[in-house]
Chains A and B, each alone.
Chain A
Amino acid sequence: MIPELGQFALILALLLAALQALFGIVGPALGRERWTAAVTPAVAGQFVMVATSMGCLIASFVANDFSVAYVAENSNSALPLFYRVAALWGAHAGSLILWIFLLSCWTVAAAVGTARLPRNFAARVLGVLGTISFGFILYTLLTSNPFLRLSPPWADGQGLNPILQDPGLAAHPPVLYTGYVGLAVAYAFAGAALLEGRLDREWARWTRPWATSAWAFLTCGIALGSWWAYYTLGWGGFWFWDPVENASFMPWLMGTALIHSLAVTEKRGLFKSWTLLLAVLGFSLSLVGTFLVRSGVLISVHSFAVSPGRGEFILTFLVIMIGAALALYAWRAPQMQSEAGFEFSARESFLLFNNILLVTACGTVFAGEMAPIISNALGLGKLSVGPPYFNPTFLVSMLPLLVLVPLGMHARWKRGGLGGRGRALLVALGAAAVIGCAVAFGVFTGAGILSPVSMTLGAWIIIASLLDPIDRLRRRIAIPRAVLGMTIAHIGLGIFVFSMTAVQAFTAERDVALTIGSSVRDGGYTFHFQGIGPIQGPDYGGTDATMVVTHEGKPVAVMHPAKRDYWVQHIATTHSAITIHGGSNILVALGQSLGDGRWSFRLQVRPLVLYIWIGALIMAGGGLLAITDRRYRLSQSAAKEAAALLAGGDAR
C-alpha cells in the first residue's frame, strides 16, 4: 500500500513538474500572467508529492518491508534503525529519490527567495528548475523505480554493504547532493537571464547567495567524502583522483570560479558572459558527473550498477539541458557585453586569471577523466589515468593561482595597485617563508623544493587574509560580513594548502609483521603489539588487536585495529584504528595472521591531516557567513519604498 502510494505521488510530482516548467518558461514568454502566477503553486504541489514519495520509501525501510525490491536489496532486519534509513541512498534508485527531493527543497527555497523579485524573472528561474525535476523524475520512473515489488517477497533483506555502514555514509551523500543539486539554482538564474536576454549587476547580487551556498555545501560534501574514505578504507588516503571523486570535484572548481566571477559582475558589471558560462557549466558538470557514475562507462570502486539503457536516457537529458543552455548562451551572451575598463593590476585582472586557472584545472581533470573513455571508444587501446597524471598537472594550474590569491585580495578595483599594502604583503611573504621553511626542513625530514614553497604559499595566504581585518580594527571601521566571510574562507584555503602539503610530503608508512610483545618504530612513534582476540557485533564477528603507541617514552594511545566478517553478506571489512596526536594522525590497520603467531599490520603517521578537512570546513563556513551580509537580504529597502508609495497613493 505504502510503496504504491509513494509511486503514485511520484507520478503526480512528474505532472506538477511538467506544469511548473511549462508555466514558468512559456508564461513569461507569452505574457500570460495567470500562467506565470501558477508557477509557485506548482512548486509547492510538487514538493508535497516528492516529500510524500520520499516519506513512503523511508517508511518501507523502517518497517522492513521486504516485498519492495529496493528495500530487500539494500536493507536487512539485523540492521540498526539509523542505517536502515541511510540505506535509502545506498544504491542507485534511492539516491535518485534523494536527488529529486533535494532539488524540490532547493526549488521551494528559490521560490521563497525570489518572492520579491520581478515576477517574470522568478517564474523563469522556477520554470528551468521544473524542467530539471521533470527529467529526473521521468528517468526514475522509467528506469530506476525504487517502489517495484518483489513477488514473492523475501523473508529478509540482503543487507547493506558493510563498507557503507558508517556514520560517514549517512552524512556524505545528502550533504554532497545538496551542493550538487544547489548548483542547479545558479544554473536556473543564468537560464532565466538568457531567456530574458538581459543581465545586470542586480542579477549578480540576486544570484550570489545561491551560488555561494551551493558551493559551501559542495565543499562540505567533498570534505566529508574524503574524510570517510580516509577513515573507512584503511589506506589513509584522502584523495585518490577516483573518477567519481573527480565527478564531484569538477563542479566544485567551476563553482569556485563562479562565486568569484559573480563578485566582478556585481561590483562592475563585467565578466557577464564568463559568469553565465560558469553558472551553466557548473551544473552541467554535476549532470555529467551523474551520467558518468551511473552509465557504466567508468571504472571505479564507487560506481553504481551498470545499465546501458540508463546511460542513454541521461545522455539525452544532458543533450537537452546543457545543449539548450549553451546554444542560448552562444546566441544571447554576445549582446551582453559591457564597456567598462580596468587596469592590468586591478582586482578584475586577478579574478580573470582566477577564472582562467580554475577552468584550466577543471579542463585538465576532465581530460584525465575522459581519457580512458575516449581511448576505448576510439579504439586506441585501454588507457588508465591515475594520480601520477593528475597530481602534477593539477599543480601546474594551482600553484600560480595560490600565488595570485594574496595579491588579488588586496588589489583595488578598476584602478589597480595594492592600495598601499605592498610593503605589508612583502613582509607577510617573508614571515610565511620563514614559517614554511622552518616547518618543512626543521620539523620534518626529506623535504624537496615543492613542500617549503607550498607551505610558504599556504602561510602567506593566511597572513595576507588577516591584513585587511586587522587594518579595519585599528582604524575602527566596521567589517562587513561579506569581508569577514571572504577572510575566513581564504584562511581556510591557506590552512588546507599548508596541511595538505604536510600530508603529501611527510607521511610515514610501513607494512610490518609482528609477534605479540614485539615493537617497531615508525614516523617518530613506537608501536607495541600487545594482544589480539575475537569480537562480535549485531551482524558481524571478527578479530581485534591491541596496539600501544608511545612517543619518546611517553604514552600516546592504546589502539584497537579490527577486522569484521559480516555473516549475511559474506564480506570482511577492516576497521583501522586512528588516533589524533598533536595534529598528526596515527593509523594502524590489521592485516592477517602470517602463521607462527605473527600478524601483519600497516602503520601510518600522517602529520596535520585533520587540518585538511578543518581547512575545507572553514572555507565553507566563510562562504556561508558572507552571504548573510545585509545587501543580500533582498530589496528590504525597496519593499519599504514600495509600501510607502502605496500608502502615499492611498492617502491621495
Chain B
Amino acid sequence: MRGTLLVLLALLVAPFAHAIAPTRMPTPELQARYERLIHNFRCMQCQDESLANSPVSLAADMRRQIRQMLLAGDTDQQIRHFFVSRYGYFILFKPPFAWRTAWLWLTPGVLLGVGALSAVWVIRRRAALVTRESGDEDESFDDGLTGPGKHS
C-alpha cells in the first residue's frame, strides 16, 4: 500500500522532476548519436518535451530502448523507423519530407520565390518612374537619415 502511494506520488511529482540521466556509451561517436537521437524524439506523454528532457518513466524506457539499439549496431535510420512505425510521425520533432508534409517544407522556398519575383517586378516599375530632373525628395524634410551625400 505504501509502495503504491509512493509510486503514485512519484507520478504526481514526476511532471516537474528532472530528466537528468547520465548515460555512458562506450564510444564518443555512439555518445554523440545517442544525445542527438534523444533530443530529436518527442516524449509521448509530456508531448512538448523531447526524450532528453522528459521526466516520465516512458521517456526513460524509450531512452533505454535507443541505447540498446545503438549498442546492437542499428543505424539512426533504423532506430527512427522503429519508433515511427509504432508511434507515427508525431514522435519526430522534424516532420518528414513525405507527400503529406511536402507543403510544409516547401513553404519557405515558395514564399521566398514569390517574394523575390514580386520585388523585382516592383523595383523595375519604380526605377522607371524615377525622373532625372527632379532632385531628392523634399529637401526641407530632414530626418537626418540621408547620409553623407546630402547636406543637412
CB of B72 within 8 A of chain A? no
CB of A633 within 8 A of chain B? no
B94-127, CB < 8 A from A: 94-95, 100-101, 103-105, 107-109, 111-112, 115-116, 118-119, 122-123, 126-127
Interface string of A362-390 (1 = CB under 8 A from B): 01100110010001000011111111110
Contacts of A368 in B (CB 8 A): 104
Are A341 and B126 in touch, CB under 8 angstroms?
yes
- Complex Cα distance A267/B139, Å? 11
Contacts of B138 in A (CB 8 A): 267
**Would you give the shortest CB distance from B142 to chain A, in whole angstroms?**
8
Q: Beyond A389-B104, A413-B146, A421-B147: 15 further Cβ-contacts under 8 Å?
A: A234-B18, A267-B138, A341-B127, A343-B127, A344-B123, A360-B108, A363-B108, A363-B111, A383-B101, A389-B94, A412-B136, A563-B18, A571-B13, A590-B18, A591-B20
- Complex Cα distance A389/B107, Å? 11
**Would you give the shortest CB distance from A406 to chain B, in whole angstroms?**
13
Are B20 and A601 in touch, CB under 8 angstroms?
yes
A323-366, CB < 8 A from B: 339-344, 348-349, 352-353, 356-357, 359-360, 363-364
**Would you give the shortest CB distance from A93 to chain B, in whole angstroms?**
23
Interface string of B118-152 (1 = CB under 8 A from A): 11001100111111000011100101111111101
Are B123 and A371 in touch, CB under 8 angstroms?
no
Minimal Cβ-Cβ distance residue in A for B115: A356
Q: Which 3 A-B pairs have the closest CB atoms?
A: A341-B129, A386-B93, A591-B20
Are A573 and B16 in touch, CB under 8 angstroms?
yes
Contacts of A348 in B (CB 8 A): 126
Are A359 and B95 in touch, CB under 8 angstroms?
no
**Would you give the shortest CB distance from A627 to chain B, in whole angstroms?**
13
- Complex Cα distance A197/B28, Å? 66
Are A359 and B111 in touch, CB under 8 angstroms?
yes
- Complex Cα distance A561/B90, Å? 34
Contacts of A59 in B (CB 8 A): none
Contacts of B147 in A (CB 8 A): 410, 412, 419, 421, 468
- Complex Cα distance A169/B27, Å? 42
Q: Can you list 15 A-B pairs, Cβ within 8 angstroms, ordered by A?
A: A267-B137, A270-B126, A356-B118, A359-B115, A360-B112, A367-B104, A385-B95, A386-B93, A388-B93, A396-B112, A397-B108, A471-B148, A510-B22, A574-B18, A590-B20
- Complex Cα distance A203/B103, Å? 39
- Complex Cα distance A371/B94, Å? 12
- Complex Cα distance A468/B15, Å? 53
Question: In the complex, how many residue pairs between chain A and chain B have their CB atoms under 8 Å apart?
Answer: 203
Are B144 and A602 in touch, CB under 8 angstroms?
no
Are A357 and B115 in touch, CB under 8 angstroms?
yes
Residue from B118, B149, B152 in contact with A419 in the complex, judged by beta carbons closer than 8 Å? B149
Interface string of A426-469 (1 = CB under 8 A from B): 00000000000000000000000000000000000000000010
- Complex Cα distance A35/B21, Å? 67
Residue from A339, A357, A573 in contact with B129 in the complex, judged by beta carbons closer than 8 Å? A339
CB of A301 within 8 A of chain B? yes
**Would you give the shortest CB distance from B33 to chain A, in whole angstroms?**
15
- Complex Cα distance A341/B105, Å? 36
- Complex Cα distance A343/B123, Å? 7
Interface string of B17-58 (1 = CB under 8 A from A): 110111100000000000000001010001111100100000
CB of A414 within 8 A of chain B? yes
- Complex Cα distance A602/B45, Å? 22
CB of A163 within 8 A of chain B? yes
Residue from A235, A268, A342, A420 in contact with B148 in the complex, judged by beta carbons closer than 8 Å? A420
Contacts of B152 in A (CB 8 A): 477-478
Q: Which residues of B contact A (CB under 8 A)?
A: 9, 12-13, 15-18, 20-23, 40, 42, 46-50, 53, 88-95, 100-101, 103-105, 107-109, 111-112, 115-116, 118-119, 122-123, 126-131, 136-138, 141, 143-150, 152
CB of A278 within 8 A of chain B? no
**Would you give the shortest CB distance from A328 to chain B, in whole angstroms?**
22
CB of A636 within 8 A of chain B? no
Are A572 and B143 in touch, CB under 8 angstroms?
no
Contacts of B93 in A (CB 8 A): 384-389
**Would you give the shortest CB distance from A267 to chain B, in whole angstroms?**
7
Contacts of A385 in B (CB 8 A): 93, 95, 104
Are A386 and B112 in touch, CB under 8 angstroms?
no
Given contacts A340-B137, A397-B112, A571-B16, contact A389 B22 (CB under 8 A): no
CB of A479 within 8 A of chain B? yes
**Would you give the shortest CB distance from B149 to chain A, in whole angstroms?**
4
Interface string of A472-495 (1 = CB under 8 A from B): 000101111011001000000000
CB of A512 within 8 A of chain B? yes
Are A479 and B144 in touch, CB under 8 angstroms?
yes
- Complex Cα distance A357/B111, Å? 9
CB of A166 within 8 A of chain B? no
Residue from B46, B88, B122 in contact with A382 in the complex, judged by beta carbons closer than 8 Å? B88
Interface string of A498-513 (1 = CB under 8 A from B): 0000000000001111
Minimal Cβ-Cβ distance residue in A for B18: A591
Given contacts A301-B48, A413-B137, contact A340 B108 (CB under 8 A): no
**Would you give the shortest CB distance from B59 to chain A, in whole angstroms?**
13
Residue from A300, A341, A592 in contact with B20 in the complex, judged by beta carbons closer than 8 Å? A592
Contacts of B150 in A (CB 8 A): 412, 419
Are A381 and B20 in touch, CB under 8 angstroms?
no
CB of A589 within 8 A of chain B? yes
Contacts of B127 in A (CB 8 A): 341-344
- Complex Cα distance A377/B65, Å? 32
Are B17 and A242 in touch, CB under 8 angstroms?
no
Residue from B16, B107, B116 in contact with A356 in the complex, judged by beta carbons closer than 8 Å? B116
- Complex Cα distance A151/B137, Å? 70
